[in-house]
Amino acid sequence: MARVLVLGAGISGHTVAMNLRRLLKKKEHDVIVVSPQPEWNWVPSNIWVGTGKMARKKVVFPLAPFYKKKGIEWHQAYGRVIHPEGTADDPTPFVEIEYSDDENAGKTAKVEYDYLVNATGPLLNFAATPGLGPAEGHSYSVCTADHAHEAGEVFQKHIEEMKQGAKKKFVVGTGHGTCTCQGAAFEYLFNIDGDLRENGLRDQAELIWITNEAELGDFGVGGMIFDEDGYRTNSRLWTESLFRERGIKAVVGAAVTEVRDGECSYVDLDGNKGTIDFDYAMLLPPFAGVKLGAVGPNGEDLYDKVFAPNNMMKVDAKYGVERKDWHASDWPVTYQSPAYDNIYAVGIAFAPPHPISEPRTAPDGTNITPAPPRTGMPSGDMATMVAKTIAERVKGKKVKERNGSMAYLGAACVASTGTGFLAGSAASMVMDPVVPNKEEFPETGRSKYTVGKIGLFGHWTKLMLHYLFIYKAKGHPFWWLIPG
């Protein structure tokens, strides 16, 4: 009998657990999930919750009854310390956990495993920028369902005040020089724009986009080249046209250095320093890895052996490669730990070898470089691949060669405004692959399927993905046929 332990129940962790439970017989093998949050959240739809267009309950569901029904062992707890070699008395690997539910909060236990998947997701590092975030700071977030719900309530209050004649300034973007997920902030920005237009209030609002991208359309992936109707354009021109059409101002190549009540400060790549006043700000935090310890059988510290300095887990990537030698093959293929072959990491939890966008700093040394995005479709794809690999190993089968490198995996970003079936629009982007691969695609680094489009069809796609992925996450019939 094998025990497979999954740390995290987000998109990647939940996908791993569901696939393992489908592929491994319940009576023969255990699948265990440890996560501090009691609910699963379809994060891409948080942007609709964050404008008050969708109820929080539409993007979450409780995990405990779902896992019980599926035959998955569930612990609402934090993973604290990995013991990959067990103890001096017992070599069985285990993880120390600390319960987070009301009944058992603070209690500890150990969970043994044969295989471990780290899918802990991001630590939302609001503390990296003074005054950033909804808890201790002066800005809002859509990173969690609760954050989005709070943001949506406040945003709708501003809408009501504008209906009484008030003018407002909205600032949306990245709250630190090393943020990732510009796409989420980009989508939220256009939802705000769409909501204001729907209410006839756009002329009373000023919208400002502040981003750590060196130029519009970079999105942390070095930009994209689109081939459309016989001509070639790039994501910079495409994005700039969207901003011009909608009258949105942009501050690019900027690191927010402090957020105060109604005002934020920034420095840009040219060394310019400035402030932006606002009535409402939604600024994403940078991501770090969730802190886990790693201890050997005699109490020795194995942290540096297992983790990178950012708390993300080392996998089969090429680390320490100089910028001039960066290559698509630097990116991990199997997501297996080089230190322990029964440990894997997926989604935000794995340490990338380097950024995708060109690293840049301001004259004062401030790092203004987007971190590589690893959420959404790529995290689901790599999770499915890892689950299949582990299942084959458990069954004693020959492991199929699978390439889960982000230099081969594609991703779609659909920035949709509105939630209705007939009303709405979307700026839709597909990049294939996520990491430019000049060996496969010498001209642009990406395939001909890398496109950017605007229109109602993309909005329908976003709605379809919302319902399809919640259907999939709830394990309804034939859920595994839905890709991603």
Buried/exposed code over 151-163 (b: 16+ C-beta within 10 A; e: otherwise): bbebbeebbeebe
If one counts every other C-beta atom within 10 angstroms of the C-beta of residue 209, the result is: 24
pLDDT band at residue 418 under the 50/70/90 scheme: low
Tell whether the model's pLDDT for residue 463 goes beyond 90. no
d(CA 257, CA 176): 7
Domains, in order of start, for the chain: 3-124+287-394 (3.50.50.100)
pLDDT band at residue 425 under the 50/70/90 scheme: low
d(CA 334, CA 337): 9
Tell whether omega for the bond before 433 is within 30 degrees of 0, i.e. cis: yes
Q: What is the pLDDT of residue 181?
A: 84
Tell whether the model's pLDDT for residue 217 goes beyond 70. yes
Tell whether the model's pLDDT for residue 422 goes beyond 60. no
239 vs 416, more confident = 239
Of residues 259, 58, 49, the one with CA closest to residue 154: 49
Element (H, E) at 165: none
Mean pLDDT of 326-345: 97
Least confident residue range of 158-172, 283-297, 298-312, 409-423: 409-423
Tell whether the model's pLDDT for residue 286 goes beyond 80. yes
Q: What is the pLDDT of residue 464?
A: 78
Element (H, E) at 466: helix 456-473
Give residue-wise pLDDT tens across range 177-186.
Answer: 999 989 899 9
Mean pLDDT of 439-445: 93
Q: What is the pLDDT of residue 112?
A: 98
Tell whether the model's pLDDT for residue 458 goes beyond 70. no
Mean pLDDT of 143-161: 98
Tell whether the model's pLDDT for residue 419 goes beyond 70. no
> Is residue 154 within 8 Å of 140, Cβ to Cβ?
yes
Of residues 248, 259, 269, the one with CA closest to residue 175: 259
Give residue-wise pLDDT tens across range 267-281.
Answer: 999 999 999 999 999
CA-based Rg of the chain, rounded to a whole angstrom? 22
d(CA 235, CA 218): 7
pTM, two decimal places: 0.95
d(CA 294, CA 292): 7
Of residues 142, 141, 71, 81, the one with CA closest to residue 110: 81
Please report, rounded to a whole number, the percentage of residues in the chain having pLDDT higher than 70.
96
Angle value at C-alpha 414, between 163 and 218, nearest 5 degrees = 100
Element (H, E) at 275: strand 273-277
Give residue-wise pLDDT tens across range 29-76.
Answer: 999 999 999 999 999 999 999 999 999 999 999 999 999 999 999 999
